[in-house]
Amino acid sequence: MNRGAPLKPADRPWVRMTMGAAQIVADAEALHLMLLPSPGDRYADAQLDDYGGSRFVWRPPVRLIVEARFSHPMETLVGTAGFGFWNAAAMPGALIGPPSAVWFFFASPPSRIALSPADAGRGWLAMVWRSPTGPRLRIPGWLQQGLWRLLKAPPLARTALSLGARWMAVSQRPLEIDLTAWHRYVLRWERRQVIFEVDGEEVHRAPLAPPGPLGFVAWIDNQFLTLDPAAGLSAGLLPVPAPQALTLRRVEIESG
């Protein structure tokens, strides 16, 4: 048990990480993942995870319970944030595989993560992202950067994303709730579907689910990302005009 937010299971290797103008503050009741004011010239991230790089262990059936709130409403938050499971820790030297995620996800403009014109791609979303299973490779940082620069070229990006949309599946639903209020979020990751609940009400049922393994993550950062077959691929950093935070009062993961 950690001081601040109860973290269960207590025997997981919970890792708190900050980069740039960010900090993590624990008090008697909660864990505050915070971004500090910055001009957007450096990446900033406050993160809690249980995989420490690429040690992903969770497979369905899994139930995640998070009690959380944000410091600002959806209209004034910047960057991306959320909590759930993923496998895309693209750190230099980490093992990288086809990306999958099961999470509550926030993205501010100009982000748009959508493989279908019907997808909102930004705002506060219940989202599942499933890619075919494949080997995880250790790709050097210089090669990651080179591939990223190539994929940012508009014609190549549009082609890559159009092809990717044929073998990746995404299910998402925007959630119109007050992010500054406490909510109890439940994510039920099953073998064939994922069920999202907020305050005891089902808000989305995705008819697809990645097989795993994935790792838990909760974060808030100052980046934006566009993945859109029409608009292409782009990414960058946003200025943070005032302190903002994702506060966690409870994080509990149950397997089986």
How many angstroms from the chain centroid is the CA of residue 231? 21
Q: Angle 154-167/141-151 helices, nearest 10 degrees?
A: 100
| 109 closest CA partner among 82, 76, 84 | 76
Q: What is the pLDDT of residues 140-157, one digit of tens each?
A: 444 345 444 545 555 655
Does residue 117 have a pLDDT over 70?
yes
| 109 closest CA partner among 78, 69, 142 | 78
**Range picked from 31-45, 118-132, 137-151 for highest mean pLDDT:** 31-45
CB 111 within 8 A of CB 121: yes
pLDDT (0 to 100) of residue 138: 45
Q: What is the pLDDT of residues 167-208, one digit of tens each?
A: 678 899 999 999 999 999 999 999 999 999 999 999 999 999
Separation in Å, CA 82 to CA 48, 133, 151, 180, 226: 11, 24, 26, 14, 17
Does residue 136 have a pLDDT over 50?
no
| 86 closest CA partner among 180, 171, 210, 1 | 210
CA trace torsion 131, 103, 195, 191 (10° rounding): 40
Q: Among 104-113, 114-123, 185-194, which stretch is predicted with the lowest mean pLDDT?
A: 114-123
Percent of the chain residues topping a pLDDT of 90: 62
Q: pTM surpassing 0.75?
A: yes
pLDDT (0 to 100) of residue 116: 75
CA trace torsion 162, 163, 166, 169 (10° rounding): -70
